[in-house]
Amino acid sequence: MSNRRAPLRPTLLAAAVASVLCAPALAQSQTEDQLPEVLVTAQRVSAPESQTPVAMSVLTSAQLDKLGIDNAAGIGARLPNVHLDGAADGLRITIRGVSNADATEKGDPSAAFMLDGIYIARPQFQTFSFLDVDRIEVLRGPQGTLYGRNTTAGVVNVISNAPVQQLEGAASLALGNYSSRVATGMLNVPVNDALALRAAVALDKHDSYLRNGQGSGYELGQDRDDRSARLSAKLALGRSASLLLRYEHATQHGNVDNIVPDTNFFKGIETGKPVWYGASTGERLTNRFKPFNTGLEQGYNHKSSDALGAEFSWNLGAATLDYLGSHRRNENDFLANFYYRVQPTLAIGVHENFWGDQRQDSHELRLSTNGSGPLKAQGGLYYFREESHQLYVFRDLQILTPLHLPPYYVFPHGPTIARSKAAFGQLTYSVLPGLRATAGLRYTQDDKSRVGSTNFQQGQDFNAATDFKLLNDASLNTHKMTWKLGAEYDLGPTAMAYGSVATGYKSGGFNDGCVAGASALGLPCPAAIAVPADTLLYQPETLKSWEAGVKARFWDKRASMHLAVFNYDYTNLQLSGVAIVAGAPRFVTQNAGQASVKGVELDGQVRAGAADNFSYGVTLLDAHYISYKPDGVTSWAGEPLDRAPHSVLNLGWEHTFRLPGAQMSAGINARRSAAYNISVSSQLLQYRIPARTSSDFNVSYRPDAGSWSVMARVKNLENKVQPITIDSFGMSVPSDPRTFDIRFDYHF
């Protein structure tokens, strides 16, 4: 194995930043030339982002519009050390090289995805279109105290607009290539002094980005047909309390056949050393695979989500009591045509039918202090429950040898139940003027269980005379205490330094199978088919993080700088892949041993007068395994973690032109990423994705006194694509090609 790591040099970067902070401020008093301040709730209380001692990024609704980002998969290209990829099985979040590949009902993410503070457990339901978004907060690093489990990598929190006491509305329509059609609408109505209502709708459609070279005439995936709606009501309960209710409904239709063979990008896979080769974007996006063992079918994908949420806030004087609760039901139904490489030079076609139903409930009660005293404290209780039922059906696996599987390989699973209970508290005390110390603690208890079976069937329905079942039955109870110690110091009126030591926790889980002697569903688990306990169960993933940073605004608040330096120590990193267990292919998660992650992040903005705004970002990252043997023999010690480029550079520029009675703005954003790996540990394969530059451009026109505007946008000007995921059988999901659209907005 090769070791591609290079030593980081944070000292020189820190010295350069210090010299900037010490530079004389330029005299400038025009407030329109200053950077706007954004209020965030990263610490669960409202505070300016520049005064929040956390490594984070914020994208406002205006920025999302300019960048053409309308779902979570588009966020990562604009953030330091963040990948958010729209994989075949849902959203894949990677922050600072830490990710998770188990998107099944038994898996958990390393980074929590939240909608209005509500944890969304399944990645399949994190891909819906954004709807009336106020801002998105992305927190990097473990957030185990205030946000809890499954936040070892960080948190992505999408925050919607709430009703306000003002009559307003907005509508937009965007048309682009690939028959793209995006329409949104919003209406906010104050009913009286106490009640305001807000409704929002969105439609987002485009044709497939992929090309069918199979000769079947069927439509392929990477298409889109999303529809969503939300109704919100905010009620003032006297002068000191308020209640916010939200109901959301969203559907997503299209095609789950959004893969191409990994051979569209790499040669030499059969040798165990994939090598990237040159090809046009059209060739990369063409699926030419024609299975010899089965016929192709028209794939489809149908998802729906319904959610009811409530936020209650009561100012008690010395403290504020907050409640946040939600009930969500998600359903998914799809048919996919898979490319399965079962031997180095042999691939077969496999069909998967899937149906799933998932329901989750969450409740959080939190008490936080008010006032300007030296002590700021908050604490609370949290409860989460998820129940899901699934049916996986794989067809045409009988060609697999030496397994001699029957035509139908079926997984009826459910209920799968996950419960999490937590108590948490965090306090900050002003030790000296300008110096504050923070301590936080959270205790979490997780209970998981699942019952189901692996069925070997001759037909679609189980026949006891010809078919047989293997029991899948497991449960796991884990608990963890996570904590945080931190300090922050005001370097000046608009600058602060902070440091922290914190821990993170991702719950453990189980794989398919059962332990000897177990019994459920009328099925025994004899020793001959039992799975050893250390294979059936995998342990929680834990992290300890050391981080220091500086946040500053200088040059009369016309420039900003965020600097973070971090060092992680990961233990029991959870990695997933397909392996043969008890004579059948199964999706297995195992603990990878230890990993080290350290790096530097520098980003900010510069407003050079009223007409020009610049953004910049530089990241250096060294994320590698300390100890890991994927097959129990081969050592990957020193090898990089997935999606962890050693360096990334982001640059953006927006210029505003004054016209008679109007203004025109043009902006360009470019990202240069170093090469990085996507690994398939079960096959001992490491795919090296080469370095890449990707650029976006937008131009807009707005009359000074008008209520409308028009914008044109181009994403991926270079029209280059690369794999964003590669699975154990060689199925690769490519990134998006060049897209462009023109958008018209109207508001009142």
How is 611-671 classified by DSSP, letter by letter? TEEEEEEEEEEEEEEEE--TTSSS--TTPBPBT--SEEEEEEEEEEEEETTEEEEEEEEEE
* Cβ pair 380, 321 in contact under 8 A: no
Is 9 a domain residue? no
Examine residue 28 and state whether it is found in any structural domain, yes or no.
no
Q: What is the pLDDT of residues 251-280, one digit of tens each?
A: 999 999 999 999 999 999 999 999 999 999
Q: Which pLDDT belongs to residue 7?
A: 47
pLDDT score of 588:
81
Whether 694 and 714 have beta carbons less than 8 Å apart is answered as no
pLDDT above 50: residue 246: yes
Which DSSP helix (H) or strand (E) runs through 226? Answer: strand 224-237
Looking at the predicted structure, is the pLDDT value of residue 24 above 50? no
State the pLDDT at residue 85: 83
Predicted pLDDT of residue 31: 64
Does residue 285 belong to any structural domain of this protein? Answer: yes
Strands 111-115 and 180-190 come out as unpaired
The rounded Cα 321 to chain-centroid distance in angstroms is: 30
Q: What is the DSSP string of 108-149?
A: --SEEEEETTEE---GGGS-SPP-SEEEEEEEES--TTTT-S
CB 75 within 8 A of CB 547: no
Considering only CA atoms, which of 526, 610, 607 is closest in space to residue 560? Answer: 607
Distance CA 357, CA 415 (A): 10
% of the chain residues with pLDDT over 70: 94
573: pLDDT strictly greater than 90: no
Whole-angstrom Cα distance, residue 152 to residue 148?
9
Average pLDDT over residues 734-748: 96
Cis ω before 415 (30° cut-off from 0): yes
Determine contact, residues 161/118, Cβ cutoff 8 Å. Answer: no
Q: By C-alpha distance, which of 548, 540, 545, 543 is closest to 565?
A: 548
> What is the sign of the dihedral through the CA atoms of 67, 70, 71 and 72?
positive
Cα 108 to Cα 731: distance, rounded to the nearest angstrom = 22
Residue type, 748: F
- Contact status, residue 391 vs residue 356, Cβ threshold 8 Å: yes
Which DSSP string do the residues of 272-323 spell out, in sequence order? T--EE----HHHHTEE----SSS-----EEEEEEEEEEEEEEEE-SSEEEEE
Highest mean pLDDT among 161-165, 460-464, 580-584: 161-165
Q: Confirm if 413 and 472 have CB atoms less than 8 A apart.
A: yes
Cα dihedral 525/526/529/535 (nearest 10): 70
Residue at 18 is within a domain:
no
Instruction: Give me the pLDDT at residue 607, please.
Output: 94
pLDDT in tens, 196-242: 999 999 999 999 999 999 999 999 999 999 999 999 999 999 999 99
Q: Would you say residue 269 lies in a domain? A: yes
Q: Report the C-alpha gap between 381 and 385 in whole angstroms.
A: 14
Q: Of 666, 567, 664, 588, nearest to 632 (Cα)? A: 588
CA dist., res. 15 & res. 659, Å (int)? 42
Confidence of residue 12 (pLDDT cuts 50, 70, 90): very low
- Please answer whether residues 459 and 408 qualify as being in contact, where contact means their C-beta atoms are separated by less than 8 angstroms: yes
Domain count, the chain: 1
The closest alpha carbon to 602, from 20, 1, 7, belongs to 20
| CA distances to 232, 546, 594, 596 from 638, in Å | 51, 21, 11, 9
Residue 590 confidence (pLDDT)? 82
pLDDT greater than 70 at residue 41: yes
- Rounded Cα distance, 403 and 398, in Å: 8
- Judge whether residue 583 has pLDDT over 80: no
Element (H, E) at 408: strand 408-432
Computed on alpha carbons and rounded to an integer, the radius of gyration of the chain in Å comes to 26
Q: Is 650 domain-assigned?
A: yes
Q: What's the first-to-final CA gap in the chain, in angstroms?
A: 61
pLDDT of 584 above 70: no
In a domain, 14, yes or no: no
Show the domain range for 224.
Answer: 41-747
Q: How many Cβ atoms are within 10 Å of 686's Cβ, its own excluded?
A: 20
pLDDT(615) > 90: yes
16: helix, coil or strand? helix
How confident is the model over 397-444, as pLDDT tens digits? 877 655 567 889 999 998 999 999 999 999 999 999 999 999 999 999
**154-160 and 133-140 beta bridge pairing:** antiparallel
Number of H-type helices and E-type strands within the chain: 4, 46
Residue 16 has pLDDT above 80, yes or no: no
Q: Does residue 395 surpass a pLDDT of 60?
A: yes
Strands 211-212 and 286-287: parallel
Q: Which residues pair with 692 in a beta bridge?
A: 673
Cα dihedral value 393, 395, 400, 406, nearest 10: 80
The pLDDT value given to residue 585? 67
- What would the pLDDT profile of 102-149 be if each residue is shown by its tens digit? 778 888 888 999 999 999 999 889 989 999 999 999 999 999 999 988
pLDDT at 2: 45
State the average pLDDT over residues 622-628: 92
Asked whether 687 and 722 are in contact (CB, 8 A), the reply is no
Residue 14: pLDDT band with limits 50, 70, 90: very low
pTM: 0.91
* pLDDT at 22 (0 to 100): 45
The pLDDT value recorded for residue 92 is 87
The reported pLDDT for the residue numbered 177 is 97
pLDDT at 25 over 70: no
Residue 647 sits at φ, ψ, to 5 deg, of -150, 145
Taking residues 557-571, report their average pLDDT: 94
Q: What are phi and psi of 310, to 5 degrees?
A: -140, 135
pLDDT more than 90, % of the chain: 73
Question: What is the per-residue pLDDT for 172?
Answer: 97
- The pLDDT tens digits of the residues spanning 331-386 come to 999 999 999 998 888 899 999 999 999 999 999 999 999 988 899 999 999 999 99
| Residue 16 lies inside a defined structural domain of this protein | no
C-alpha distances in Å from residue 230, one per residue of 201, 246, 573, 683: 7, 7, 38, 44
| CATH number of residue 358's parent domain | 2.40.170.20
Please give the residue that has the higher pLDDT: either 601 or 11: 601
731-734, strands of its sheet edge to edge: 260-261, 731-734, 723-726
Average pLDDT score over residue span 167-182: 97
Tell me the pLDDT band of 576, cut-offs 50, 70 and 90.
confident
